[in-house]
Amino acid sequence: MTAGIRHDDLRRRNRGLVIAAVRRAGQPSRTEIASTTRLSHSTISAISADLIDEGILAEAKAGEHANARRGRPQVGLSLNPEAATVIVAVLSLNELSAATINYSGGLIAEESRTLATATISRDDLIAELVAMLCRLTAGMEGRARPLRIVLAIQGITDADARTMLWSPITPHKDVPFAEILERKLGIPTTVENDCNMMAVALRWRDPARYRADFIAILLSHGIGMGLVLKGNLFTGTRSSGGEFGHVIHRPDGALCRCGRRGCIEAYAGDYAIWRNAQGKSELSTPEDGVQPEDMKQLAERARAAEGPEREAYRKAGTAIGYGIGSLFALIDPAPIAFVGAGAAAFDLLEPAIRAAIAETAGGQHSDAIAFDTIPDELPLIRQGCAMRALTYVDQEIFADGYPASPLLQADIA
Amino acid sequence: MTAGIRHDDLRRRNRGLVIAAVRRAGQPSRTEIASTTRLSHSTISAISADLIDEGILAEAKAGEHANARRGRPQVGLSLNPEAATVIVAVLSLNELSAATINYSGGLIAEESRTLATATISRDDLIAELVAMLCRLTAGMEGRARPLRIVLAIQGITDADARTMLWSPITPHKDVPFAEILERKLGIPTTVENDCNMMAVALRWRDPARYRADFIAILLSHGIGMGLVLKGNLFTGTRSSGGEFGHVIHRPDGALCRCGRRGCIEAYAGDYAIWRNAQGKSELSTPEDGVQPEDMKQLAERARAAEGPEREAYRKAGTAIGYGIGSLFALIDPAPIAFVGAGAAAFDLLEPAIRAAIAETAGGQHSDAIAFDTIPDELPLIRQGCAMRALTYVDQEIFADGYPASPLLQADIA
DNA sequence: AAGACTTTTTTCGAGCCTCGAAAAAATAGT
DNA sequence: ACTATTTTTTCGAGGCTCGAAAAAAGTCTT
């Protein structure tokens, strides 16, 4: 059952709150922090003094604030970029990339390479990943040693974010990436779904728009979704959840890559749009080799004239729209970001999406539902991973206070 | 943004925790409470002494514990039934009922009456409700004065649980029941969806089975759902949410009571099963007058022999199954309780439900999904309302400590 | 340029809260 | 009657947050 609050939890939570306020606001003064956290000035003063002593926060240089008001000038607090380091890695179709990131979110180094993910052996896949991360972290010791790895994958992870249960980009299942990386590199690791990381990133990029409730939908070869509800990333109870692409659109409908029939993806995934545009049967085997370039041309033809291409996009939009509508019957309408190469053809999808939503229970206000499109998913996924890794450091390591962190201890001596 | 924890919040939360522990366990000793809350014995001792002083908790009589172990015997703590009173009311098709409940959940008094909900005027509906609650609370003053009303309705409420936005049982919309009752009776009120209250009740009835994640589905004239995810009742962001009955099963399919087409309810609601069994078109207007007795006979005929009746149940099961499967694609499989008169015909639905789930993404483990049936929904709804009202009193009133409560103040003088 | 004014930040003592250790209480065994 | 055992209370210590007051660091005014 729920645990009680002990006295020392209090400090920990309030330290975490101060760190979070600084990460969010960028360079807030102590006064600003006091007002956002509703803690007293004295408390903020004490906590921030500790955090500065520990090298987690830093005071901004005096000259930086331009707004010359009367009174003692506010001193901005910022994250000390050198307080920590984290690693992000993204495994996607035929590509592996990774980067080291400093505590304030800045890029230190990055690397990426193409990889035949569909055919590579399990051991080679793991070896490539480990090797890349070893190269990136070579020479980073002491305080520069990364405190956290976040690996984003296309596919499903377990609820503890430790194992890739299944992925469309590789035949290998149940790969315990977190355990492997922790053993090889000695750095705590989580494995996250790429769409969930997109959602996390959107919250940081535009908190005004993507605040408490919103949806990120990835349109690419497959269809993925990241869902934020009441300010929390929504994950399944046993897995990363949110398999929006495999919600059933039409029972006994088109054949999906997953082997089932009638999934949304079987109408709206790249391969499905392609299949429909070619006039092939909806029951024909999904093709893996549809290239982004193919899709671009397909979209061009669809824009140019009425025809099977346009019809294929219409069907895709309808499937997505009904899916969103069903989701809206369970939760309430929220802003939606369409991410990925498929979002470049959003103009072709939108009318059908809106029309389908209007047919559903969530559709009373279908005109008011806001859509955004973001064609390039990789930067978004990376940013999400980085923020996830950094907030972990914020809350699970730095909030705990000095003596608990041997790495920092060394710094004082 | 998130508020900091102040020093006095600490006591409030820990008091709430102790009260919750007692409500859950029934008659735990201080030692047990200390171990479930993980607070120290001294803290529990201090808090429970306060709570006993305030008349919220009471020590059990000495002789009640039979297990004669060595050492000082444990003293059970229990809720003082007279610490407070709450009211529950349930508005359902053609029936209004209400009860007063004491602090330990016992029934004090109840009343119910039939009401032509479909045709009654808005003012009369409100007047009936107010009158019933006034009768029930007559003479309850001082400490006996109810501290909370929870009204359950079939239909949708706003996110603040103050207004009935829409209900299938009455044409009246946007009825601000909470405001009305607060003005007329002066008691804080919330308006809740009936299926959500069913879910709340299941958690209290069988916490081992219905713990963190489960689903309650109401099968009656319409189809409703209450969803608990990660230990929290899941509601929409702007409304009570969970309109499972209006998730689309087949685009452009059967005509639903809500005016749209292809909703799950349009296949699985009583009226839909009836319509299909009669061989009527799926686009024919839903009939309101299908009686429970009719459905019983329909089920009998379906059990007796293959025919349109059995087929109608099969279609209903398929719709429900696909709906559950789509839900399972977004969240993970969880135990499901089927509640209501329709659950009495669950034997007719189950094969089709399981077959449909197996066709969906959530269906890998469709055999393992646990189903329960509970034919009588009213007691469940009531219990849910009672627990909701009481935990409100626990956490929002009694956790705050003595001086804040003028009603209790009077008791000391 | 000096003093007045304003705003931010720090300091300091008070008041709570939880905790651990020790004491007290209450009962069963011997 | 005395010991062992377990529960509960008591008590002092240590921390934390808070409000008020003081200190700090500027701008504005004359």
- To 10 degrees, what angle do helices A346-358 and A292-304 make? 70
Residue A219: predicted pLDDT: 96
CB atoms within 10 A of CB A72: 6
Mean pLDDT to the nearest integer, A308-334: 93
What residues of chain A lie within 8 A of the CB of B10, using their CB? 5, 7, 10
The token pair at B380 is: 């469940």
Rounded percentage of chain B residues whose pLDDT exceeds 70: 93
Nearest CA in chain B to A252: B359
Four-residue CA torsion sign, B249, B255, B259, B261: positive
Is the confidence at residue B21, as pLDDT, over 60? yes
CB atoms within 10 A of CB B45: 14
| Pick from B63, B69, B57, B72: nearest CA to B103 | B57
Residue A47: predicted pLDDT: 96
pTM score of the predicted model: 0.90
**Closest approach of A410 to chain B, Cα-based (Å):** 30
Distance, CA of B222 to chain centre: 17
Rounded percentage of chain A residues whose pLDDT exceeds 90: 77
Residue B64: predicted pLDDT: 53
Buried b (16+ CB within 10 A) or exposed e, A152-163: bbbbbbbeebbb
CA–CA gap between residue A73 and residue A65 (Å, rounded): 8
CA–CA gap between residue A111 and residue A138 (Å, rounded): 13
Of A21, A212, A322, the CB nearest to B237: A212
The token pair at B156 is: 């949708």
- Ranges A6-20, A166-180, A361-375: which has the least confidence: A361-375
What residues of chain A lie within 8 A of the CB of B165, using their CB? none
Nearest CA in chain A to B24: A1
| Pick from A33, A26, A78, A75: nearest CA to A52 | A78
Residue range B146-160, pLDDT digits in tens: 999 999 999 999 999
Identify from B331, B353, B357, B395 which residue to disrupt to test chain A contact, counting A C-beta atoms within 10 A and taking the largest count: B331
Residue range A22-36, pLDDT digits in tens: 999 999 999 999 999
Mean of the per-residue pLDDT values of chain B: 91
Is residue B62's beta carbon less than 7 angstroms from any atom in nucleic acid strand D? no
Residue B65: predicted pLDDT: 52
Of B71 and B174, more confident: B174
Asked whether A135 and A89 are in contact (CB, 8 A), the reply is: no
Residue range B182-224, pLDDT digits in tens: 999 999 999 999 999 999 999 999 999 999 999 999 999 999 9
Asked whether A99 and A110 are in contact (CB, 8 A), the reply is: yes
Question: How are beta strands A85-92 and A95-102 bridged, if at all?
Answer: antiparallel
**Closest approach of A254 to chain B, Cα-based (Å):** 13
**Closest approach of A90 to chain B, Cα-based (Å):** 23
**Closest approach of B38 to chain A, Cα-based (Å):** 6
Count CA atoms within 13 Å of residue A242 on its CB side: 29
Is residue B25's beta carbon less than 7 angstroms from any atom in nucleic acid strand D? no
Rounded percentage of chain B residues whose pLDDT exceeds 90: 77
Amino acid identity for residue A266 in this structure: A
Mean pLDDT to the nearest integer, A333-358: 94
The token pair at A357 is: 């939503």
- The pLDDT-based confidence of B242 (bands split at 50, 70, 90) is confident
Q: Looking at residue B256, what DSSP letter applies?
A: P
Cβ-based contacts (< 7 Å) between B 73-102 and strand D? 73-75
Contact A361 B247 (CB under 8 A): yes
From the number of C-beta atoms within 10 Å of its C-beta (0-12, 13-18, 19+), residue A352 rates as: buried
- Ranges A244-253, B189-198, B385-394: which has the least confidence: A244-253
CA–CA gap between residue B92 and residue B266 (Å, rounded): 20
Rounded to a whole number of angstroms, the CA Rg of chain B reads 24
Identify from B45, B215, B248, B364 which residue to disrupt to test chain A contact, counting A C-beta atoms within 10 A and taking the largest count: B248
Is the confidence at residue A407, as pLDDT, over 80? no
Q: Looking at residue A238, what DSSP letter applies?
A: S
Asked whether A136 and A128 are in contact (CB, 8 A), the reply is: no
B146: CB partners within 8 A, 6+ apart: B84, B85, B86, B87, B100, B137, B140, B187
Residue A62: predicted pLDDT: 60
Contact B327 A332 (CB under 8 A): no
Rounded percentage of chain A residues whose pLDDT exceeds 70: 93
Residue range B346-376, pLDDT digits in tens: 999 999 999 999 988 766 766 778 899 999 9
Four-residue CA torsion sign, B288, B291, B294, B295: positive
- Ranges A60-64, A174-178, B197-201, B374-378: which has the least confidence: A60-64
Of B38, B241, B330, the CB nearest to A242: B330
CA–CA gap between residue A344 and residue A338 (Å, rounded): 9
| Pick from A130, A193, A185, A201: nearest CA to A160 | A193
Of B2 and B260, more confident: B260
**CA dihedral of A257, A263, A266, A270, whole degrees rounded to 10:** -90
Question: How are beta strands A232-233 and A223-229 bridged, if at all?
Answer: antiparallel
Residue A239: predicted pLDDT: 82
Is the confidence at residue A44, as pLDDT, over 50? yes
Q: Looking at residue B395, what DSSP letter applies?
A: I
Strand-pair partners of B85: B102
Asked whether B16 and B56 are in contact (CB, 8 A), the reply is: no
Reduce the secondary structure of B159-214 to three states and give it as a string.
CCCCCEEECCCCCCCCECHHHHHHHHHCCCEEEEEHHHHHHHHHHHHCCCCCCCCE
CA–CA gap between residue B175 and residue A157 (Å, rounded): 44
Reduce the secondary structure of A23-34 to three states and give it as a string.
HHHCCCEHHHHH
Q: Looking at residue A3, what DSSP letter applies?
A: P
Q: Name the residue closest to C26, CA to C1'.
A: B72
Nearest CA in chain A to B40: A6
